[in-house]
Structure 1
Amino acid sequence: MSLGQKSQPGKPEEDLQAQGEAPGLVDVQVPTAEEQEATSSSSTLITGTLEEVPAAELPSPPEIPQGASSSLIVTDTPLGSQSSEDSSTNEVEGPSTSPDPAPMESLLWEALDEKVDELVGFLLCKYQIKEPVTKAEMLESVIKNYSNYFPMIFSKASEYMQVVFGIEVKEVDPAGHIYFLVTCLGLSYDGLLGDDQSTPKTGLLITVLGMIVVKGICVPEEAIWEGLSEMGLYVGMERSIYGELRKLLTQDWVQEKYLDYRQVPGSDPARYEFLWGPRALAETSYVKVLEHVARVGARVPIPYPSQPN
């Protein structure tokens, strides 16, 4: 039975029989004219028919145990009031006063989500300064009182680093729980070479390389913009963690030789398409990228952040 619901058990048969013998309880019957005249001045319960009593004032009929009399019983206690016996029974059998666990569970999940965000920020800082990270550091600096949930927090933060930023949290010393942070697929690019030193862009680069492979090696630019928009990334959007998308794909990654951006031969008006650049072909392969995309796609979708932290 859920919290807030009150049990209304039927009274045993002997209680109902006792009530039938108690003073003030009468069976509802059709009275004679003499009885109506004799009782009209003394009755304290009903001055008219039951239909004349407002519906809101009529209590729900009690459950009648099997075998008990089915005749309607009324008392001369005013409607809506309870006897002392009923009151004491309700006090004993009333709803539980224990707290509802749902809000507490919700608060716990919110706290764990915050810890995941904090750990992602901590790992990004470690990657930027090219330092390894240990489990002891993470527990002391981030996890703190939530050490029992470390495996879950660490797993979610590692997955976020891989999918969004293209950074793999790689364990290099199982005994000492020491981890290095490296770019996925062995790519030498992380996007931290320019003015923006806060957000690695390898994850987005791998995503675009995967789109090109899946869609047919030479892909119209409209297909790439549409695919990115489905991820919540739009050309011209303000405060993207990746900067301006059109410039990133058509200029920055072309200069880095990860992408080729060229006019479709014979197109008039001019249309453009994306291909893999020579650096992407040298550092990875179609098969490796497809395997990475398949692993990422098999997981629960992770929303790409639209603003820098």
Structure 2
Amino acid sequence: MLIQFLLQRYKMKESIMKAHMPKVVYKMHRENFPEILGRATEHMELVFGLELKEVKLSGHSYRLVNKLEIPINRSLSSGWGLPKNGLLMPLLGVIFLNGNCASEEETWEFLNILYVYDGRRHFIFGEPRKLITEDLVKEKYLVYRQMRNSNPPRYEFLWGPKARAETSKMKVLEFWAKVNDTVPTAFPTHYEEALRGEEERARARAAARDGPTARASVRSRATSSRSSHP
């Protein structure tokens, strides 16, 4: 109920008054409102890429801010003005954390935690299966393919070329860590892999921009990013 209320305010571009939010939930649950609000805001960020931020000038209201790292394609926007690719960052995280390749079973298990179910229409995302196996694949954010030597056929998800171009493993890991209230280094193996990816991207940018003379400084710049994550 609280999530529906927040999304409605976002759609209408209206302020979210602190005093109004507890009244949205049943009276019997209002004593647990801080916990309910915490779970709702976590869900909003993970599923929709929206962060609830206090309006400092008034101190009496909130606003929802789009936190998605990936640009929103109009073809992937819902009638609510919300990004239908809001699921993409967490999906990329699941793929990354499962060895850069997530089976369809692992993917749906994760989506079920977010109350997104195969065969059940979602009020924002529409038909989830179409979204992740057709729309996001067509936009080249995901690759959906049959697993090798699977009989009967089983399928898996990988990052698509557009995802690799528009975001990075480090950004996805930072997103995943924030949602889990931790830091990227809490996932040491994946952090090292993400760091190597940052170094490779830095080398590629330097080579394209400055040629061979810039390569000597790339390693030091990439290595300095280690200090930015405690």
Shorter-chain TM-score: what band? 0.5 to 0.7
Question: Is the alpha carbon distance of 1:144 and 1:256 closer, same or farther for their aligned partners in structure 2, counting shifts above 3 Å?
Answer: same
Equivalent AA in structure 1 for residue 45 of structure 2 = Q
Equivalent AA in structure 1 for residue 135 of structure 2 = D
Whether contact under 8 Å (1:258, 1:277) holds in the other structure is yes
SS at match of 1:261: strand
* Partner in structure 2 of residue 292 of structure 1: 175
Whether contact under 8 Å (1:259, 1:275) holds in the other structure is yes
* Partner in structure 2 of residue 278 of structure 1: 161
Question: Is the alpha carbon distance of 1:247 and 1:167 closer, same or farther for their aligned partners in structure 2, counting shifts above 3 Å?
Answer: same
- Residue ranges of structure 2 left out of the alignment (5+ in a row): 183-230
Question: Is the alpha carbon distance of 1:170 and 1:266 closer, same or farther for their aligned partners in structure 2, counting shifts above 3 Å?
Answer: same
Question: Is the alpha carbon distance of 1:259 and 1:232 closer, same or farther for their aligned partners in structure 2, counting shifts above 3 Å?
Answer: same
Residue 165 in structure 1 maps to residue 41 in structure 2: no
* Partner in structure 1 of residue 103 of structure 2: 220
* Partner in structure 2 of residue 182 of structure 1: 65
Please state how far the C-alpha of 1:202 moved relative to its aligned partner. Answer: 4.5
Equivalent AA in structure 2 for residue 161 of structure 1 = M
Please state how far the C-alpha of 1:124 moved relative to its aligned partner. Answer: 0.9
CA distance in structure 2 between the partners assigned to 1:126 and 1:198 by the alignment = 12
CA distance in structure 2 between the partners assigned to 1:271 and 1:238 by the alignment = 21
CA distance in structure 2 between the partners assigned to 1:181 and 1:252 by the alignment = 26
CA distance in structure 2 between the partners assigned to 1:144 and 1:222 by the alignment = 38
Whether contact under 8 Å (2:117, 2:128) holds in the other structure is yes
CA RMSD of aligned residues (A): 4.1
CA distance in structure 2 between the partners assigned to 1:278 and 1:182 by the alignment = 27
* Bigger helix fraction: 2
CA distance in structure 2 between the partners assigned to 1:286 and 1:217 by the alignment = 10
Question: Is the alpha carbon distance of 1:281 and 1:202 closer, same or farther for their aligned partners in structure 2, counting shifts above 3 Å?
Answer: same
* Partner in structure 1 of residue 90 of structure 2: 207
Question: Is the alpha carbon distance of 1:191 and 1:290 closer, same or farther for their aligned partners in structure 2, counting shifts above 3 Å?
Answer: farther
Whether contact under 8 Å (1:168, 1:183) holds in the other structure is yes
Please state how far the C-alpha of 1:215 moved relative to its aligned partner. Answer: 0.8
Please state how far the C-alpha of 1:210 moved relative to its aligned partner. Answer: 1.0
Please state how far the C-alpha of 1:264 moved relative to its aligned partner. Answer: 5.0
CA distance in structure 1 between the partners assigned to 2:121 and 2:173 by the alignment = 30
Q: Which has the larger radius of gyration?
A: 1
Question: Is the alpha carbon distance of 1:195 and 1:149 closer, same or farther for their aligned partners in structure 2, counting shifts above 3 Å?
Answer: closer
Please state how far the C-alpha of 1:289 moved relative to its aligned partner. Answer: 1.7
- Residue ranges of structure 1 left out of the alignment (5+ in a row): 1-116, 300-309
Q: Percent identity?
A: 43
Question: Is the alpha carbon distance of 1:152 and 1:225 closer, same or farther for their aligned partners in structure 2, counting shifts above 3 Å?
Answer: closer
Whether contact under 8 Å (1:132, 1:179) holds in the other structure is no
Q: Deviations over 1:118-175 (max 9, x none)?
A: x43332123224x3625xx342x4446999998666544423322333211234x423
Q: Deviations over 1:61-82 (max 9, x none)?
A: xxxxxxxxxxxxxxxxxxxxxx
CA distance in structure 2 between the partners assigned to 1:138 and 1:190 by the alignment = 32
* Partner in structure 1 of residue 128 of structure 2: 245
CA distance in structure 1 between the partners assigned to 2:151 and 2:168 by the alignment = 33
TM-score normalised according to structure 1 size: 0.44
Residue correspondence of structure 1 range 84-163 to structure 2 within 5 A: 117=1, 119-129=2-12, 131=13, 133=15, 137-139=17-19, 141-143=20-22, 154-163=37-46
SS at match of 1:128: helix
Residue correspondence of structure 1 range 5-154 to structure 2 within 5 A: 117=1, 119-129=2-12, 131=13, 133=15, 137-139=17-19, 141-143=20-22, 154=37
CA distance in structure 1 between the partners assigned to 2:163 and 2:75 by the alignment = 17
Equivalent AA in structure 2 for residue 128 of structure 1 = K
* Partner in structure 1 of residue 196 of structure 2: none
* Partner in structure 1 of residue 142 of structure 2: 259
Whether contact under 8 Å (1:220, 1:274) holds in the other structure is yes
Whether contact under 8 Å (1:185, 1:284) holds in the other structure is no
CA distance in structure 1 between the partners assigned to 2:33 and 2:110 by the alignment = 34
